[in-house]
Amino acid sequence: MSNVGSRQVGEFIIPRPMIRTLRNPMDIATIVSIYPKEINEVKETIQPGRFKIPAGSYSNPSIVAIPPSSWWKDNDIEQPLLEIPVSAVQIAQSLIVDYCNGMLACDMAGSMPGLFFVPGDISKEKIMTDYKIKLAETKSKQDNWYKILVRLANSLWARSNGNPLVIWDEMRMAASELGLENVPWLKMEVQMEMIRCFACGTLKNPDFPICATCRNVDMSHPRAKDIKLAAG
């Protein structure tokens, strides 16, 4: 009979062993990444629960073998904790879904970071030869995600009068991966020189004399005279 429900508030619980069963050597999955950013995921409730997925690319994908994990159930205070095994395939799927699902513009179908998994311990050479179609499909989804991020960045940049704080790091990565080196928000050197409008106090791009918020003209700006003449 379980004694879990009979504990008192503040009662000291003697640590009990967590005895793992022998792992099935065939229970393994391989995560493939063409995402150009390292991923570090921590799952505190399972063991092992720390996973590192190296950055990869379409021409040189990274792979990482994922073992099964376990979580522990407390059935009886006088007995060791009960191990609940979780298969490698479930862990691999959870890592990808948990990382991608909450990201901006990711729908986990046609627009998402370039990650997928396959059952088994698969070498990079086999991934490159036997999974060409899957790699191409993954690249297409990632490119779609990149394009959406760039469109959103363009809109945010225009609406914020060039405020660099509205541009997500992944948006800059997307523009770089798509070869869009001329987008104005990609380079941070100019973006970081935001100044406050002396009339309303909001941040504005110093390259432009007119505040997008209050429409006040900074007459000390070298181009302010040209705007005044144009208005006249």
Domain of residue 186, residue span: 159-231
pLDDT at 189: 43
Considering the domain architecture, whether residues 12 and 72 belong to the same structural domain is answered as: yes
Q: Rounded CA gap, 113 and 39, in Å?
A: 11
Q: Rounded CA gap, 47 and 173, in Å?
A: 33
- Give the total number of structural domains in the chain: 2
Number of residues assigned to the chain: 232
Contact 25, 99 (CB under 8 A): no
pTM above 0.85, yes or no: no
Q: How confident is the model at residue 75 (pLDDT cuts 50, 70, 90)?
A: confident
Considering the domain architecture, whether residues 131 and 204 belong to the same structural domain is answered as: no
35-44, 101-110, 146-155, 217-226: least confident range: 217-226
pLDDT at 172: 93
- Per-residue pLDDT averaged across 147-168, rounded? 90
Single out the residue in 107, 141, 175 at which a domain terminates: 141
Let me know if residue 134 belongs to a domain: yes
- Per-residue pLDDT averaged across 3-30, rounded? 71
